[in-house]
């Protein structure tokens, strides 16, 4: 009996980072239809940083959350609709309540890997509303497996039905993934998932290692559409899992068609590991910073790679874009002194 | 209309009174031993405290035992508003007290039931420091206060069925069963604190010669419990009440048992008068039921029926999970018995929470 | 100055906020703490109060109800839920209350903006909004004095993870909503957004807040002048408040970043977020004390 893997597809959410959250209505509609047709079980939509995150801090979204959720829901019949959300960016009253009304099925409540205790009320709200709730631990490479399990257990006690750990910086090597997933699978009684990023070219192999260690949920984005070096490439995952004897329920040819469609509609140039991506992966810094780092580096006349290593040194957390300006400012000032 | 509504409300409480009467009817000797007692309950506004209040009200009204009940709790105002039929009584007094702070009992207190604690595992996750302080400092302060009573007859430490550790086998747990748990684990902080509390109680018993018994509660069920409490039965009922599919963690084979509030209260009071010094008594139902059967039982009560959905982590398939007590020792030692069986308990609880009277409150 | 002339203040709630307020009150020329009340003699705050010889009680609000003469002004550092009950009782006794909780029953108060008006209006319940609010609202207000029609204000605060206890974490939504509402009120902005980020970096980071304002044709020099003037005002009661990144124009927005270093009275220095709300509260109490005399 083939082992089943639940694929969750954040193309229309994490991918939004790649286009500064400017995905159009047409793109949402076209991709939702293609994903459903291919049998993708879960499609995740929204601003790159999740529900309510459209902001000057992390970038304003072309479409409102309401628009995104309405058009996605309308174009997904069997496929489950999921959203990512980070407490502190969105509230239950203004954002989650409306998402429930708009027909979201799965609420993936995320926190930095040491801050799981901010997710209690949001997970509870999703559960009380009769929806599925996952706990998501971001930048999970920044803590030990033991601490990761502690945080995951908190989310489990809040009612999360699955825990997904993210390799937000694309920093993991396969052995590290194996160790963490094993620790989580052993210590939790709920499903465990993995969300890879491809900075160091290892997203697929990391995902395979995760599955072999007991993960049952894997995130993958079409053509790896995502910030910086991109996410784990969805159609590649489907192909690889099929060859390894795992069942994803996704039709290979149709997901390849979806890749072609994505290329035409919103992702003409597939992500790759640029020098900045490699550096951010090595520095262990959130890949989503890339565009802003590049822009700010140019503005202040400093090397973006220096910004990344400095952010890594300061252990910058996802969502701290304002720090980029400060670091650039400082590096520029230091450079001025060096020149004198 | 108003009169009809208030009658309905009184009907609900009448049923609870009948439950209490049934729970103690077979032990008249023990009942009489409580006459004229002054009983103090810390954590008195919790589930056990509230059912004890209901039981004392019943005993005083039906048998004129003239028992005084003092409920000590951190927040008494909400309870007073919620249960005026208990808080307005002369024989029930409320004292606002945080057990983390040293305090005194009323000087003529004869019996102490230390039920203060935080069994809510969401709080174990979000504020384990407060949980441990409440548990450890709480029992220290309570034992200290009890130690100053001239007329103390008995002290009950309300511990937890979790102190035995995580079983690595199936079947019921007796008071002797103990499974190793690694130390220094954040998610086991509550269990470790409860274990410390049992040690501290043993120390007071030995060193200050205080008469103490321990009860280890397993899962309780019934009116007076908040559906927010994260036990499986509450979340199943919660799902069913809003007309959603009941969602089960795991494949539904996990087994638990559920002791109804009136039996929980009576077994505790029985331990006060029949308990042996230093003894530990499991307080819980011996009737285990799997999550799947429980969900099905609840489903049958709704029309139109809710569905049931399981959420199984594939690697956990086949991992057995049972946590329920063997109460042979308790029943023999205290002479208590189950007066409200599982189906009845579920039925009563369901009717309480699904009643329009409840939705209003 | 003798204690006799100082305004008698009581603090209910012996946690970090209450204890820090106690320490600040001891340094004040205008107020004196006559009661430090909580529920737990074993709490760190209570032990601190005992060591300082401040009268204490573990009866919470009852300590004031049983002896109403003991104080004229009360700092309520308990919880929003508790404050609702406390205010009913304290209102009846004619006390002035500075509410440190998110209950928001009373007048929203930012000393640099409306200290004098709040006192003149005779408001007896003053609410200190939120820590992020005390940092950002003055700046938003300063910008609004130059540009009266701000379309959108956004405030993103980063605080050290260590400075956010269980209560803060549980009440993130309330923090966001309260800050947003107050931002709109004090800046006239049509829309407002507040974001709170907990940063777990070690050593803990200092509190930092970035304010973004969407303004068409911003007059940068005027904005800078207004902000600088406002910061001077704030420095009178929050010495550790400083401009980290001066107002600049980025695309269609004005951006400025503020850093707040705490005084380190009882809370650590990196907890500037908690310090500023306490400084604001003390500053209001001192103003009330001074206005009572005149």
- For the cut 50, the answer to whether the pLDDT of residue A251 exceeds it is yes
Let me know: does B214 contact B159? Beta carbons within 8 Å.
yes
CB C139 within 8 A of CB A92: no
CB of C47 less than 8 A from some CB of B: no
**A121 vs C170: CB contact, 8 Å cut-off?**
yes
- Among A111-125, B111-125, B273-287, B314-328, which stretch is predicted with the lowest mean pLDDT? B314-328
pLDDT for position B313: 65
Who among C169, C170, C197 is closest to A320 (CB)? Answer: C197
A129 and A101 belong to one structural domain: yes
Tell me the whole-structure pTM to 2 decimals.
Answer: 0.92
Helix, coil or strand: residue C243? strand
**Residues A173, A314 within the same domain:** no
CATH (domain of A333): 1.10.8.60
| Helix, strand or coil, per DSSP, at residue B326 | coil
Q: What is the mean pLDDT of residues C147-160?
A: 94
Element containing residue C108 per DSSP (H, E): strand C107-108
Residue B250 has pLDDT above 80, yes or no: no
Last residue of a domain, one of A265, A297, A328: A265
Task: Please report whether residue C12 resides in a domain.
Answer: yes
Which chains have 3+ CB pairs within 8 A of C? Answer: A, B
- The pLDDT value recorded for residue A287 is 64
pLDDT at B1 over 90: no
Res. A156: pLDDT tops 70 = yes
- Contact check, Cβ <8 Å, B126/C39: no
Q: How many domains does chain C have?
A: 2
What chain B residue is nearest to C40 in terms of C-alpha separation? Answer: B101
The reported pLDDT for the residue numbered B146 is 97
Average pLDDT over residues B284-308: 89
Return the pLDDT at B5. Answer: 46
Q: What is the pLDDT of residues B63-110, one digit of tens each?
A: 999 999 999 999 999 999 999 999 999 999 999 999 999 999 999 999
In a domain, A28, yes or no: yes
Question: Is the minimum CB–CB distance between C39 and chain B shorter than 8 Å?
Answer: yes
In the stretch 83-122 of chain A, residues with CB closer than 8 A to chain C read: 87-89, 91-94, 112, 114-115, 117-118, 120-121
Give the B window 123-182 contacts with C, CB below 8 Å: 126-127, 130, 133, 137
Domain co-membership, C79 together with C174: no
pLDDT band for position A293 (cuts 50, 70, 90) = confident
- The arithmetic mean of pLDDT across residues C23-27, rounded, is 95
Instruction: Tell whether the model's pLDDT for residue A76 goes beyond 60.
Output: yes
* pLDDT higher than 80, residue B304: no
pLDDT for residue B314: 60
Is residue C172 domain-resident?
Answer: yes
d(CA C241, CA C236): 10
Q: Which residue among A227, A244, A265 closes a domain?
A: A265
- pLDDT at site A1: 45
Residues C87 and C163 in one domain: no
HEC letters along chain A:
CCEECEEEEEEECHHHHHHCCCCCHHHHHHHHHHHHHHCCCEEEECCCCCCCCCECCCECCCCCHHHHHHHHHHCCCCCEEEEEECECCECHHHHHHHHHHCCCCEEEEEEECCCHHHCHHHHHHHHHCCCEEEEEEECHHHCCHHHHHHHHHHHHHHCCCEEEEECCCCCCCHHHHHHHHHHHHHHCCCEEEEECECCCCCHHHHHHHHHHCCCCEEECEHHHCCCCCCECEHHHHHHHHHHHCEECCCCHHHHHHHHHHHHHHCCCCCCCCCHHHHHHHHHCCCHHHHHHHHHHHHHHCCCHHHHHHHHHHCCCCCCCHHHHHHHHHHHHHHHHHHHC
- Mean pLDDT across the stretch B12-38? 95
Q: Which of residues 65-94 of B touch C (CB under 8 A)?
A: 74, 77
C130 contacts C137 by C-beta, under 8 angstroms:
no
* pLDDT for the residue B359: 64
Percent of residues, chain B, with pLDDT higher than 90:
79
Dihedral sign, Cα of residue A271, residue A272, residue A273, residue A276: negative
Tokens of C178: 């309260």
Question: Within this chain, do residues A199 and A308 fall inside the same structural domain, yes or no?
Answer: no
Residue C275 falls within a domain, yes or no? no
A330 has a chain C CB within 8 A of its CB? no
Residue A14 and residue A156 share a domain: yes
Q: Is the pLDDT of residue C219 over 50?
A: yes
**pLDDT score for C67:** 96
Same domain, C256 and C206: yes
A154–B315: do the CB atoms touch at under 8 Å? Answer: no
How much is the average pLDDT of C243-257? 92
Specify the CATH number for the domain of residue C80: 3.40.50.720
Question: What's the average model confidence in pLDDT over A225-254?
Answer: 96
Domain of residue A196, residue span = 3-265
Cis omega (within 30 of 0) for bond into B120: no
- Quickly state the pLDDT bin for B307 (edges 50, 70, 90): confident
Backbone φ, ψ for residue B263 (5° rounding)? -70, -40
Fold of the domain built from segment(s) B2-222+259-286+322-339: Rossmann fold (3.40.50)
Q: How confident is the model at residue B230 (pLDDT cuts 50, 70, 90)?
A: confident
Confidence bin at B318 (pLDDT 50/70/90)? low
d(CA A188, CA A155): 10
Q: E strands, chain B, where?
A: 38-42, 68-73, 92-96, 111-114, 154-158, 212-217, 220-221, 246-249, 255-257, 259-260, 280-283, 288-290, 308-311, 322-323
| Structure ipTM | 0.93
d(CA A88, CA C198): 9
CATH of the domain at A175: 3.20.20.70
Locate the chain B residue with the closest alpha carbon to C39.
Answer: B98
User: CA of B126: which chain A residue's CA is closest?
Assistant: A117
Q: What is the pLDDT of residue C3?
A: 58
Mean pLDDT of A237-260: 98
For an interface test with C, give the residue of B42, B99, B101, B128 to mutate (most C CBs within 10 A). Answer: B101
Asked if A4's CB is within 8 angstroms of B315's CB, the reply is no
In this prediction, residue C1 carries a pLDDT of 47
**In terms of DSSP bridges, do strands B212-217 and B154-158 run parallel, antiparallel, or are they unpaired?**
parallel
Does A270 fall in a domain?
Answer: no
pLDDT digits (tens, 9 = 90+) for C163-202: 999 999 999 999 999 999 999 999 999 999 999 999 887 7
Domain boundaries, chain B: 2-222+259-286+322-339
Average pLDDT for chain B:
92
Residues A81 and A179 placed together within one structural domain of the fold: yes
Residue A116 has pLDDT above 70, yes or no: yes
C53-75 pLDDT per residue, tens = 999 999 999 999 999 999 999 99
* Pair C98, C141 in one domain: no
Residues in chain C, overall count: 294
Quick check: A118 pLDDT over 60?
yes
> In angstroms, what separates the C-alpha of A321 from chain C's closest C-alpha?
10
Q: Are residues C101 and C141 in the same domain?
A: no
**Do A322 and A259 have their domain in common?**
no
Give the domain range for residue C148: 131-268
pLDDT at B238: 87
The percent of residues above 90 in pLDDT, for chain C, comes to 83
Chains touching A by CB (3 or more pairs below 8 Å)? B, C
> What's the pLDDT score for residue B242?
83
| Residue C71 bears catalytic tag | no
Would the pLDDT of B360 be above 60?
no
- One domain for residues C50 and C154: no
Domain-located, residue A142 = yes
With a pLDDT cut of 70, the percent of chain C lying above it is: 98
Instruction: Tell me if C41 and B96 make a contact (CB, 8 A cut-off).
Output: no
Which residue's entry shows tokens 């503020």?
C258
Question: Is the distance from CB of B291 to CB of B250 less than 8 angstroms?
Answer: yes
pLDDT at position C2: 54
Q: Does any domain span residue A70?
A: yes
Distance CA A226, CA A244 (A): 25
Say if the Cβ atoms of A130 and B245 lie within 8 Å: yes
Q: Do A191 and B247 touch (CB under 8 A)?
A: no
Could you tell me the CATH number of the domain that includes residue C170?
3.30.360.10
In a domain? residue C289: no
Answer yes or no: do C192 and C89 share one domain: no
Residues C142 and C204 placed together within one structural domain of the fold: yes
What band does A130 get if pLDDT is binned at 50, 70 and 90?
confident
Residue C68 is encoded by which pair of tokens?
């109403």
Report pLDDT for A318: 53
Q: Is the pLDDT of residue C100 over 90?
A: yes
């Amino acid at each position: 009996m083939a082992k089943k893997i639940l694929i969750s597809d954040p193309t229309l959410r994490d991918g939004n980072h790649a286009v500064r959250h400017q995905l159009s209505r047409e793109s949402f509609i076209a991709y939702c239809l293609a994903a459903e047709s291919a049998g993708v079980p879960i499609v995740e939509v929204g601003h790159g940083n999740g529900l309510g995150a459209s902001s000057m801090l992390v970038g304003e979204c072309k479409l409102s959350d309401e628009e995104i959720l309405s058009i996605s829901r309308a174009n997904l019949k069997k496929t489950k609709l999921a959203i990512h959300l980070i407490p502190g960016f969105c509230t239950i009253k203004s954002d989650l309540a409306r998402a429930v009304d708009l027909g979201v099925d799965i609420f993936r409540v995320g926190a930095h890997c040491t801050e799981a205790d901010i997710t209690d009320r949001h997970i509870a709200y999703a559960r009380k509303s009769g929806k599925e709730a996952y706990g998501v631990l971001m930048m999970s490479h920044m803590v030990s497996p033991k601490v990761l399990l502690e945080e995951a257990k908190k989310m489990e006690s809040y009612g999360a039905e699955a825990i997904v750990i993210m390799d937000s910086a694309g920093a993991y090597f396969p052995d590290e993934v194996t160790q963490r997933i094993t620790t989580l699978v052993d210590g939790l009684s709920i499903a465990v998932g993995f969300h890879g990023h491809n900075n160091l070219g290892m997203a697929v192999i990391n995902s395979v290692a995760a599955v072999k260690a007991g993960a049952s949920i894997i995130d993958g984005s079409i053509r790896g559409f995502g910030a910086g070096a991109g996410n784990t490439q969805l159609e590649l995952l489907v192909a690889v899992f099929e060859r390894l004897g795992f069942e994803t329920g996704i039709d290979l040819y149709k997901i390849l068609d979806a890749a072609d469609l994505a290329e035409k509609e919103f992702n003409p140039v597939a992500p790759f590991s640029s020098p900045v991506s490699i550096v951010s992966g090595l520095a262990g810094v959130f890949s989503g910073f890339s565009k802003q780092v590049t822009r700010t580096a140019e503005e202040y006349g400093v090397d973006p790679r220096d910004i990344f290593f400095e952010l890594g040194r300061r252990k910058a957390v996802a969502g701290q874009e304002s720090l980029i300006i400060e670091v650039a400012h400082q590096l520029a000032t230091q450079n001025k002194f060096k020149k004198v | 209309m108003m009169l009809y509504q208030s009658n309905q409300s009184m009907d609900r409480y009448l049923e609870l009174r009948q439950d209490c009467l049934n729970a103690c009817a077979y032990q008249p000797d023990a009942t009489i031993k409580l006459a004229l007692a002054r009983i103090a309950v810390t954590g008195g506004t919790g589930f056990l405290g509230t059912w004890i209040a209901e039981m004392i009200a019943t005993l005083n009204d039906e048998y004129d035992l003239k028992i005084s009940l003092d409920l000590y709790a951190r927040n008494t105002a909400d309870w007073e508003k919620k249960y005026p039929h208990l808080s307005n009584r002369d024989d029930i007094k409320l004292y606002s007290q945080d057990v983390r702070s040293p305090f005194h009992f009323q000087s003529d207190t004869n019996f102490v039931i230390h039920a203060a604690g935080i069994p809510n595992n969401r709080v174990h996750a979000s504020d384990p420091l407060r949980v441990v302080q409440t548990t450890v400092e709480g029992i220290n302060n309570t034992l200290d206060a009890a130690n100053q009573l001239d007329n103390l007859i008995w002290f009950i430490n309300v511990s937890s069925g979790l102190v035995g550790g995580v079983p690595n086998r199936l079947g019921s747990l007796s008071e002797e069963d103990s499974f190793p748990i690694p130390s220094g684990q954040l998610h086991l902080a509550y269990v470790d604190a409860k274990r410390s509390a049992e040690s501290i109680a043993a120390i007071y018993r030995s060193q200050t010669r205080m008469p103490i018994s321990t009860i280890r509660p397993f899962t309780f069920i019934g009116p007076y419990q908040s559906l927010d409490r994260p036990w499986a039965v509450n979340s199943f009922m919660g799902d069913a009440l809003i007309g959603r599919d009941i969602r089960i963690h795991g494949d539904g084979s996990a087994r638990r048992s559920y002791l109804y509030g009136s039996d929980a209260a009576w077994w505790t009071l029985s331990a006060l008068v029949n308990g042996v010094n230093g003894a530990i008594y499991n307080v819980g139902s011996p009737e285990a039921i799997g999550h799947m059967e429980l969900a099905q039982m609840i489903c049958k009560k709704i029309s139109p029926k809710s569905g049931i959905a399981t959420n199984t982590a594939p690697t956990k398939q086949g991992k057995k999970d049972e946590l329920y007590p063997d109460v042979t020792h308790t029943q023999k030692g205290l002479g208590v018995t189950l007066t409200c069986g599982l189906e009845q308990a579920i039925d009563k609880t369901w009717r309480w929470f699904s009643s329009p009277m409840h939705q209003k409150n | 100055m003798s204690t006799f002339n100082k305004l008698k203040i009581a603090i209910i709630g012996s946690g970090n906020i209450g204890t820090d307020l106690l320490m600040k009150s001891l340094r004040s020329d205008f107020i004196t703490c006559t009661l430090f009340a909580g529920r737990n003699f074993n709490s760190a705050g209570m032990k601190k109060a005992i060591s300082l010889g401040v009268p204490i009680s573990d009866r919470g609000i009852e300590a004031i109800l049983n002896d109403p003469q003991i104080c004229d002004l009360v700092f309520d550092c308990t919880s929003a839920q508790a404050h609702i009950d406390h205010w009913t009782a304290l209102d009846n006794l004619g006390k002035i209350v500075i509410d440190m909780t998110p209950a928001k029953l009373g007048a929203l108060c930012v000393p640099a903006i409306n200290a004098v008006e709040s006192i003149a209006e005779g408001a007896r319940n003053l609410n200190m909004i939120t820590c992020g609010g005390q940092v950002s609202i003055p700046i938003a207000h300063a910008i609004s004095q130059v540009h009266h029609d701000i379309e959108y204000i956004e405030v993103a605060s980063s605080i050290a993870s260590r400075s956010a206890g269980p209560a803060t974490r549980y009440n993130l939504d309330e923090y966001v909503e309260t800050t947003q509402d107050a931002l709109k009120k004090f800046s006239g902005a049509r829309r407002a957004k507040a974001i709170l980020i907990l940063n777990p970096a070690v050593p803990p980071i200092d509190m930092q807040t970035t304010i973004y304002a969407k303004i068409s044709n911003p007059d940068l020099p005027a904005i800078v002048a207004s902000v600088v003037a406002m910061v001077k005002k704030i420095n009178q009661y929050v010495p550790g408040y400083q401009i980290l990144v001066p107002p600049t124009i980025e695309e269609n927005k004005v951006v400025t970043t503020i850093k707040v270093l705490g005084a380190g009275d009882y809370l650590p220095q990196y907890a500037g977020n908690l310090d500023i709300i306490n400084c604001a509260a003390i500053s209001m109490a001192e103003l009330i004390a001074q206005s009572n005399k005149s």
